[in-house]
Amino acid sequence: MIEKKVFGRTGHKSTKILFGGAAFFNVTQADADRTMDLIMKYGINHIDTAESYGDSEIRLDPWLKHNRQHVFLATKTDKRTYKAAKEELHQSLERLCVDSIDLWQMHCLVDENEWEIAMDDGGVLEAFEEARIQGLVNYLGVTGHGVQTPSMHLKSLERFDFDTVLLPYNYMMMQNKSYASDFDALVTVCKEKNIAIQGIKTIARGPKGENEKDQFHTWYKPLDKQSEIDMALHWAMGNEDIFINSVADVNILPLVLDAATRFTTKTPDEKMKRASREMGLTPLFS
């Protein structure tokens, strides 16, 4: 089984590996059902999806009908205005066939102009606060991609007391001194305020080329060998301050879950440095 830890101020004891619902972007219901059987086998009790993840919310519906009470359920909206976000929340509730969700997140809020809209009068923040008062959601979070994410999350936390943050975390990203410095600063604030931190892209090999064939259902090139995944995932799991969202590919997911159950100690930085050249690791963002 995979270790559990209290998910920040929510009080929920979540598995350190969260199921990333992006894996259900474009799969059959049969594939989704088999994957959820696997999730149950490994004891995963936290699901993170989004309205923008294709069919994900729809594919989760049949499983949630019988298992809603056993999991912490999170979804996201990439809308930036009150009206659009409110409409999308109700759409998510309908697609998931649930009365409420545990965590609603502002999806990929890293652009300065979008941030101003989201946080201003008539912005998505108003929909977030209202939804919590109405009991449609219990907790609120913010997510992001790119090197500016940790600094933008710090800005968001100055504006509003979010319960969770989500951002990239892997060996190559943390070799970017600016990103690493901002990430560490964000972790410090989150630990002080008991805000849960979620890491994504932990097994990224690097970005896909413009004309590169999509072998996997991830928008980046993932590691796909067990030994490589073990090394990268165990490096990330060595950070006790973060939870890790699993990979967005149902075929690689079993390798990730297998690696997670065998975690004991962090992959040393020196070993990752040597292995990064052998595995062809490159930064996703620069």
The answer as to whether 186 is a domain residue is yes
Single-letter amino acid, residue 23: A
The pair of structure tokens assigned to 279 is 């595995």
Whether pLDDT at 185 is above 90: yes
For position 216, what pLDDT does the model report? 79
The answer as to whether 286 is a domain residue is no
CA atoms of 15 and 261, how far apart (whole Å): 11
The answer as to whether 258 is a domain residue is yes
Per residue in 47-82, pLDDT tens? 999 999 999 999 999 999 999 999 999 999 999 999
The answer as to whether 284 is a domain residue is no
Per residue in 254-268, pLDDT tens? 999 999 999 999 999
CB count within 10 Å of CB 155 equals 16
Host domain of residue 143: 4-279
Contact between 15 and 41 under an 8 Å Cβ cutoff? The reply is no
* DSSP annotation of 199: E
Inter-CA distances, 232 with 22, 47, 82, 149, 229, Å? 20, 22, 39, 21, 5
- Which has the closest alpha carbon to 54: 23, 19, 30, 84? 23
For position 277, what pLDDT does the model report? 92
For position 168, what pLDDT does the model report? 98
Per residue in 92-129, pLDDT tens? 999 999 999 999 999 999 999 999 999 999 999 999 99
The answer as to whether 169 is a domain residue is yes
- Which has the closest alpha carbon to 254: 220, 279, 229? 229
Whether pLDDT at 180 is above 80: yes
How many folded domains does the chain comprise? Answer: 1
CA atoms of 167 and 199, how far apart (whole Å): 5
The pair of structure tokens assigned to 201 is 């892209």
For position 204, what pLDDT does the model report? 95
Q: What is the DSSP string of 117-148?
A: HHHSTTBHHHHHHHHHHTTSEEEEEEE--STT
For β-strands 204-207 and 220-222, DSSP reports them as antiparallel
What backbone torsions phi and psi does residue 13 show, to the nearest 5 degrees? Answer: -90, 95
Q: What is the CATH number of the domain that holds 232?
A: 3.20.20.100
201: left (phi over 0), alpha (psi -120 to 50) or beta: left
Maximum distance among all Cα pairs of the chain, rounded to whole angstroms: 52
The answer as to whether 285 is a domain residue is no
Average pLDDT, the chain: 96
CA atoms of 12 and 8, how far apart (whole Å): 8
For position 15, what pLDDT does the model report? 98
For position 213, what pLDDT does the model report? 63
